[in-house]
Structure 1
Amino acid sequence: MTSITKIRPQADDATSARGHMKIVIVGHVDHGKSTLVGRLIHDTGSLPEGKYEAIKAMSERRGMPFEWAFLMDALQAERDQGITIDTTQIWFKSEKRDYVIIDAPGHKEFLKNMVTGAASANAATLVIDAHEGIQEQSKRHGYLLHLLGVRQIAIAVNKMDLVNFDEAVFNKIEADFRAYLASFGVTPTFMIPVSARDGDNIVSRSERAPWYKGPTLVEALDGFEQVSAPTEQPLRFPVQDVYKFDDRRIIAGRIETGRLKVGDTLLFSPSNKKVQVKSIEAWSVPHAPSEAHAGQSVGITLSEQIFVERGDLASHADHPPIETDVFNARLFWLGRDALTVGKRYKMKLNTSEVQVTVQAITKVIDTDDLSSAASSRVERNSVAEVTLRARKMIALDDYSTLAETGRFVLVDNYDIAGGGIISMDGYADQRKLVTRASSNIQRVEHRITTDMREERHGHAGGIVWFTGLSGAGKSTIAVEVENRLHALGYQVYVLDGDNIRHGLNSNLGFSPEDRAENIRRIGEVAALFASAGVIAITSFISPYRSDRDRAREVAPDSFHEIYVKADVATCESRDPKGLYKKARTGEIAEFTGISAPYEAPEAPELVVDTANSSVDDCVQQVVDYVRENFSLESRRAKHGIWPPEFDI
């Protein structure tokens, strides 16, 4: 667990009356972060009385020269090793406002603590040694700040005294690091030449750098904008706990974004239950509040006693979060063991905890030059783009839309092993797919039973669901299978993507949400065919595993998944409709396998490999499978059941 040391100034009325901003200090080990902050709090008069003298006396007792860093490095192990391993919080005050400065460790082995500190910061100061120049860790910290959503960044180019305050040295570091940050969309707010040891450009302007016309470090910090609570964003109220007081059930939590007031109708996700706010509870106040906003921790009571639990996410119904069981993420990995495909981790998102599996590793990113490469594993201290799948529906937001509910951490064996931001690119919001809007509906009870239909047709009805990439051969095989089964006396019909979209689904496009709705409707239609005793062969890319699982749930005993397997290169070499060519040139957006994901089946009933087998062989595999699993003769022989005898 991260240890926190807090150094506070002597409190006075003026200090307590002002707000504060959280600033995280990061940088490569030995680049002088702790020295910079120690000098900063001393030169501004923010040290508690006697602290400087106590540290100086301690240094003398140990026979060590006094270091400003000793004001920060409060742990014995840090003094012995000369590195910061703790996350230390210091209260600091300028003439403008108060700050909490978080000094985060720079050593590679302590990046986890650095992430812990940076995650709660409103702004950052990144320290670079002018003599050593930009290091790998400097770039990694810059990328991490971007990953954690810190947008206000001051770069302190420290130890300028070691390069004689050479303007050319500073200009070179400034140009190179600005270019690096710009490559992923970050613009540092300030870049300042400083000497932390001597106090140059920390509080007072340095006479040794007359060429520098920008602000001092304190002026730069004062120039950061105060981050206000995001009250104008959609409401997000994660439930932390439910308490029982007398006859009240109080739903407690912290409002991350937006506002809520008495009388509002809240939607709780992922259960999709709606209820009104009856009251907002408060203690030691003359009157109960009627409204609460982002940044406040509150308790509310509801107009109805619905089941609500820790991890639920409350919102207003007109701006709900996304519901999904799969999403993409940009992840920084800190675990001792490498992150690998198929491994499970506990994900913490706001107040919820859910098991997730690594479905895919799209690429691993080199934070030094931002190049990327395919890999089957993510090693410690690496950044990667991955796809995670949860064991149940979860409520979340795309990070680009709402950062507060778009960040998560992964836990491995009780240790925080990684953190990242959520992207829903290529994946659908499944809320509408799992919410039943109709009520008071009763199914028609048919007088013709399933057994009667099977006896008439000589086979069971069912769904033969073909899935695979465009160009894999699904439609070609489906049509030929239909032809051969019809010749054998089977009642069979092909539902193909093109003909379905000309009619039933003509109002749907190709966004992730429309693709999901397309498959939902087809699954329902195919289930009706199956209940009528017909074998419905569906030929659709159906790229999302959750959509195919949902189609299976409609008729679980009748669903047979056939994976028409062919890799992207093979499909692209065929490209019968020229779609891959258009996708490569950007004419078609969200094209499966190129710019949109395809999730191959985990355990299909049958795999036909069209990259390595002829069409005729693949068709015969499917026909043999249908005859073995659908014909009454085969089914009865398999289970030792013989046809009943009828009296005539």
Structure 2
Amino acid sequence: MNNHLPLGTKTFNIVFAGHVDHGKSTLIGRILWDTDSVPKEKKEAAIAYCQKNRIEFEYAFLLDSLLEERTQNITIDVTEVNFFYGQRRFRIIDAPGHLEFLKNMISGATKADAAVLVIDSSVGIGEQTKRHAMLLALLGIKQIVVALNKFDLVHYSPQAYKILHNECIQLLEKLELPCNFVIPLSAKSGENIIERSTHLSWYEGKPLLEALLGLDISTSPENSPLRFPIQDVFRFDERRLLAGRIESGKLQQGELIAFYPSGKKSKVKAIHHWPPESSPQVVSAGKSTAIQLEEEIFVERGEIIAHENTPPIVATDFFARIFWLGDHPLAIGAPYTFRLTTQQSIARVLQIQRVIDATTLEDLQPVPMEVKKNETAEVIFRTSAPIACDLFENVQTTGRFVFADQNRIAGGGIILKALPSKPVHEIKGRSRISAVQRAKFLGHRSGVFWMTGLSGSGKTTLSNRLEQILFHRGILAYVIDGDELRGGLSKDLGFDAQDRKENIRRAAETAKTLAKSGLVVIVALISPFEEDRKNARSICEKDGILFKEIFVDAPIEICKSRDPKFLYLKASKGEIPKMTGLDSPYEPPSHCDLHLLTAQESIETCLEKLLDFIVPLVRISPDKERELGLLEDPAAEI
């Protein structure tokens, strides 16, 4: 194997991306074979495997280390392999091509100097190729070579090359990506990889490996500002060591450093490696290390060490571009786990400003209120705690983040701009957090939705279903149910007129308090008297709480036939005195905000009407923010 290069030779990192069936693994395997970069035993094992199974030799098997990959004929994880050619060391990052494994590409391509986008010439540019190209744009890769593989299947046609060449250029230009080369080749037959092919005599460009030799190695991260995220804190004897990996810049013993986002400072007393005698006085990007401080200050995992004169950004509000991979759409206001280097926080999207259709690469109009799987979007989001980071164009490692949904990676993104967030001012009352701040953070405003109607009309069923649906849409909701209230807060009350009035008052005060905390409160109470319901509305509205009355209407005979809690049965036996609808009146609303006829319409239809009524009232779109005075127009800062 040709692996004897001068010491200090820099490695050129290149990510290979492409559709699952476009021959990416075959191309990588062929490169390794032709550059004599495959160990003899691995060659022999691949040949023996093919002979044993009586199949044609496949260069892709040189990469496949998992039996599952061979049997499924798909690559399921990021693989890194090295080869040497023309006095340059290359590291190939094999990014998965199958749609279900696209998320690995986010981590697999982070350190690439360039990318090879593999396209089957007989198929052309498909939807998944466009998604890979969008990911490359998201990752900020500045050098791209398009490999038009399987060119033998289009009979080495110069006309086919011209068409494909133009389509590739248009695709990359649309995504503002560079295109260094568009190279026709055949991985299986080894044409135009190392040497020019006689079948491609009309092609005037370079073969693939010559083209790769002509690309530039990225600027060393050592020359970037110091970014040292703390991964863990250890104590040995009397020493307290901060451990992690230096992502960029250099760290020197004795120098003053600062910690972000806390802003604390100290000097580096010592740099520790193992064994101790190897401990240096200077460490650079790419090295894992541990440091000891002169002054023992309290810092923890997630802080980023930097120099005072080149600090990272510290903010909570960001404008970012994301690629979404979650099974459930990204929703405004829904909580996601935000991870950037070793930092972690809760993040919520405040605005979706742009969504790109993965098929056409055109902006979707009107701008959707959610981002679906495999779509790229530009959003404004807020984290629950200050985050130390950089703009992606300045320091890529600390400008890149992921979102997790229920502990599973659901998307990745890059920070384009940090936005100023409104300072917390002291306000009246005990809470120092205003309703505006709560609404902006949660992504929805609060409110009380009072559902009144006879027992058995469907209030409880609708309320519980509504609460679940709102929660999964990123709207925090809570149900106050009459039975629960009677069993706790109103346990001391009876059922005469005065106690019923007090029960409604307590329910209204509780609903108001919960709404002040930012929740959407659904009250499911018979509340038979109109005066009491008007009083509940007054209690909420005098404190500026949105209040809507919903009449859940069903005739008494229908309610008696349903009787889910057997109340009518008990009343008929004299066990419940003054049962509403029987021997105590129910006063239907003279005016309500929503009227649901549950005897005539299904639960699903009523739920749909509830959602159509409630969601636009509480969900904060950019227009709604301006209308409610919630928007300090972060878009204007972009």
| Structure 2 equivalent of residue 147 of structure 1 | 138
| Structure 2 equivalent of residue 237 of structure 1 | 228
| Structure 2 equivalent of residue 407 of structure 1 | 400
Is 2:385 the partner of 1:392? yes
- Answer whether contact 1:96 1:222 (CA < 8 A) is retained: no
Is 2:151 the partner of 1:160? yes
Is 2:46 the partner of 1:46? no
**How many residues matched?**
456
| Structure 1 equivalent of residue 636 of structure 2 | 595
User: Counterparts of 1:285 and 1:464 in 2: how far apart (Å)?
Assistant: 50
Is 2:334 the partner of 1:343? yes
Letter in structure 1 aligned against 2:38: L
| Structure 2 equivalent of residue 529 of structure 1 | none
Shift of residue 338 of structure 1? 1.8
User: Counterparts of 1:360 and 1:429 in 2: how far apart (Å)?
Assistant: 14
Deviations 1:322-364 (A, max 9, x none): 1112212211111122221222121111111112223232232
User: Counterparts of 1:570 and 1:379 in 2: how far apart (Å)?
Assistant: 23
Shift of residue 228 of structure 1? 4.2
User: Counterparts of 1:224 and 1:356 in 2: how far apart (Å)?
Assistant: 38
User: Counterparts of 2:432 and 2:128 in 1: how far apart (Å)?
Assistant: 55
Shift of residue 463 of structure 1? 12
| Structure 2 equivalent of residue 219 of structure 1 | 210
User: Counterparts of 1:353 and 1:593 in 2: how far apart (Å)?
Assistant: 23
Q: CA RMSD in A?
A: 3.5
The counterpart of 1:135, out of the listed 126, 140, 155, is 126
Q: Return closer, same or farther for 1:93/1:466 CA change in 2, 3 Å cut-off.
A: closer
- Answer whether contact 1:466 1:562 (CA < 8 A) is retained: no
Unpaired runs of 5+ residues, structure 2, are 438-542, 547-617
Q: Return closer, same or farther for 1:569/1:12 CA change in 2, 3 Å cut-off.
A: closer
Q: Return closer, same or farther for 1:592/1:345 CA change in 2, 3 Å cut-off.
A: closer
Is 2:283 the partner of 1:292? yes
Letter in structure 2 aligned against 1:92: F
User: Counterparts of 1:330 and 1:171 in 2: how far apart (Å)?
Assistant: 33
| Structure 1 equivalent of residue 355 of structure 2 | 364
The counterpart of 2:58, out of the listed 44, 58, 67, is 67
Q: Return closer, same or farther for 1:464/1:84 CA change in 2, 3 Å cut-off.
A: closer
Shift of residue 245 of structure 1? 2.2
- Secondary structure at 2:204's aligned position in 1? coil
Is 2:180 the partner of 1:184? no
The counterpart of 2:420, out of the listed 420, 423, 428, is 428
Q: Return closer, same or farther for 1:13/1:570 CA change in 2, 3 Å cut-off.
A: closer
User: Counterparts of 1:277 and 1:12 in 2: how far apart (Å)?
Assistant: 38
- Secondary structure at 1:231's aligned position in 2? helix
The counterpart of 1:307, out of the listed 298, 304, 307, is 298
- Answer whether contact 1:464 1:562 (CA < 8 A) is retained: no
Deviations 1:352-411 (A, max 9, x none): 111222323223212343322211222221212222221111111121222221101112
Q: Return closer, same or farther for 1:360/1:32 CA change in 2, 3 Å cut-off.
A: same
- Answer whether contact 2:124 2:164 (CA < 8 A) is retained: yes
- Answer whether contact 1:15 1:98 (CA < 8 A) is retained: no
- Answer whether contact 2:37 2:83 (CA < 8 A) is retained: yes
Unpaired runs of 5+ residues, structure 1, are 1-9, 435-458, 469-559, 574-589, 598-648
- Secondary structure at 1:120's aligned position in 2? coil
- Answer whether contact 1:252 1:298 (CA < 8 A) is retained: yes
User: Counterparts of 2:363 and 2:213 in 1: how far apart (Å)?
Assistant: 37
User: Counterparts of 2:2 and 2:235 in 1: how far apart (Å)?
Assistant: 38
| Structure 1 equivalent of residue 442 of structure 2 | none
Using the aligned pairs only, state the percent identity. 42
Shift of residue 466 of structure 1? 11
User: Counterparts of 1:467 and 1:414 in 2: how far apart (Å)?
Assistant: 29
Shift of residue 203 of structure 1? 1.1
Q: Return closer, same or farther for 1:570/1:266 CA change in 2, 3 Å cut-off.
A: closer
User: Counterparts of 2:134 and 2:63 in 1: how far apart (Å)?
Assistant: 25
Shifted more, 93-102 versus 79-88: the winner is 79-88
User: Counterparts of 1:247 and 1:174 in 2: how far apart (Å)?
Assistant: 64
| Structure 2 equivalent of residue 117 of structure 1 | 108
Q: Return closer, same or farther for 1:209/1:326 CA change in 2, 3 Å cut-off.
A: same
Shift of residue 19 of structure 1? 3.9
| Structure 2 equivalent of residue 450 of structure 1 | none
TM-score normalised to structure 2 length: 0.65
Deviations 1:474-529 (A, max 9, x none): xxxxxxxxxxxxxxxxxxxxxxxxxxxxxxxxxxxxxxxxxxxxxxxxxxxxxxxx
Shifted more, 114-123 versus 377-386: the winner is 114-123
Letter in structure 2 aligned against 1:215: K
Is 2:94 the partner of 1:103? yes
Letter in structure 2 aligned against 1:390: T
Shift of residue 69 of structure 1? 2.0
Summarize the alignment of residues 432-447 of structure 1 with structure 2, pairs less than 5 Å apart. Answer: none
- Secondary structure at 1:161's aligned position in 2? helix
Shift of residue 74 of structure 1? 3.5
Is 2:246 the partner of 1:248? no
Shift of residue 11 of structure 1? 8.4
User: Counterparts of 2:133 and 2:307 in 1: how far apart (Å)?
Assistant: 36
User: Counterparts of 2:60 and 2:74 in 1: how far apart (Å)?
Assistant: 9
- Answer whether contact 1:325 1:392 (CA < 8 A) is retained: yes
